Structure 1
Amino acid sequence: MIITELLAILSIAAATGLRLALPLLLIGLMSGPQLWSNVPLLSRLPPALVLGVLATWSMAELMLSKDRYSQRFFQILELFLSPGVGALAGLAVARTFGLDGWINPLIGLISALLALVIQLLQVGWFYRPRRPPLWLFFVVDGLCIALAVLAFDAPNQGGIIALLLLWLVIRTSYLWQHWPRRSKPRS
């Protein structure tokens, strides 16, 4: 059924919206001996190179993204790269489930947009007057890993979590839009 595949694609796209390299690394590790054969651009590179780059970038995301100054670097870079990585990951999951053909551009677009809006939410939270607490960054890392694993093992649950994240993005953007109007004193 195509609904299950769509939910898996949403799950991996949401994971790439949270972190970039970690979902791609998990896609390769979970796909068995063929590694990144379903990922469009990564399948053309040597697997050892891809593994080294993704493992290094994942460790940097997990360790250095907690620091305030290196976090700015990561967020700017991830903001620009998240649509492309989201599209690659969505297409990789679609290929894993056997979806090919005319639907691929639509899958790439949906995955790219979901990854971008989730990344925009993270950037928005960072530039608020009060920085989010440190434990929240660990929750984001755990959620990214869970969404990437659920995309393959339990796509329905992963897709529902991704849709809840999309609802959170919409709700937060609505609150941020109307914030100045609520904070003005009444005359």
Structure 2
Amino acid sequence: MIGILAVLSVSAAAGMRIALPLLVIGLIQGDLWQQVPLLNRLQPQVIIAVLTAWTVLELVISKQLWGQRLLQVVALIFSPLDGAVMAMAVTRILLQPTQLTWIFGVVGGLVALILQLVKVGWFYRIRGLPAWAVLLEDILCVLLVLFAFKAPKSGGLIALLLLWLAIRSSGSWYKWYQDGRIQK
């Protein structure tokens, strides 16, 4: 059960940012990215350079409206892959290689995609995310990765809370959309 909560935690982090959670995982683990699928085939120096550059780019341009739009397109494409890779990595690190690794990867990718879709929905509903919300998202992203390894129960519960909020948001969006259509 603890492993499932850890997988949910890193998957939720992948639904917020692409490179930052992978960079944190690599820096937490002693064997840089040896347990991370796809990344274990690349040189650690190349991975660190690419992830650091992308993380700085994400952190800097996400505070501006045009940057948020650009990042959303990239994140919608890559967040399911990122969530799956991170979920499989946590499964390998915490649960040892099992037959369920691919199932956890699919679940992780879906969680990341759902949270990314909710973020895009909020972006278009309120016409851009405020800077404080983006900063809170960055902090929560790092905390979820740290919780996945140090306190998986807390990280998993936060991820479940985020999923619950996503479901509630979709219901309110539907109501908002229907109210807008009725008034026209």
TM-score higher than 0.5 here? yes
Please identify, of 87-96 and 67-76, the stretch whose mean Cα deviation from structure 2 is larger: 67-76
Aligned AA (1:156): K
Question: The residue matched to 1:80 in structure 2 has which SS?
Answer: helix
In the superposition, the TM-score normalised over structure 2's length comes to: 0.95
Using the TM superposition, give the Cα deviation of residue 129 of structure 1 relative to its aligned residue in structure 2, in angstroms. Answer: 4.5
Q: Percent of aligned pairs with the same residue?
A: 45
- Native 8 Å contact 2:7 2:108 kept in 1: yes
1:58-105: CA deviation from partner (whole Å, max 9, x where unpaired): 111111111111221111011010000100000000110133232112
Please identify, of 173-182 and 70-79, the stretch whose mean Cα deviation from structure 2 is larger: 173-182
1:89-133: CA deviation from partner (whole Å, max 9, x where unpaired): 000001101332321121011000000000001111111244332
1:127-183: CA deviation from partner (whole Å, max 9, x where unpaired): 124433221110000100110110001000000000000001000001101113345
1:25 equivalent in structure 2:
23
2:75 equivalent in structure 1:
78
Question: The residue matched to 2:118 in structure 1 has which SS?
Answer: helix
Q: Could you tell me how far apart the structure 2 residues matched to 1:133 and 1:16 are?
A: 20
Backbone CA RMSD of aligned residues: 1.2
Q: Could you tell me how far apart the structure 2 residues matched to 1:161 and 1:35 are?
A: 26
Q: What is the number of residues matched between the two proteins?
A: 182
Task: Trace 1:108-187 onto structure 2 (pairs within 5 A).
Answer: 108-182=105-179, 184=182
Aligned AA (1:150): F
In the superposition, the TM-score normalised over structure 1's length comes to: 0.93
Aligned AA (1:166): L
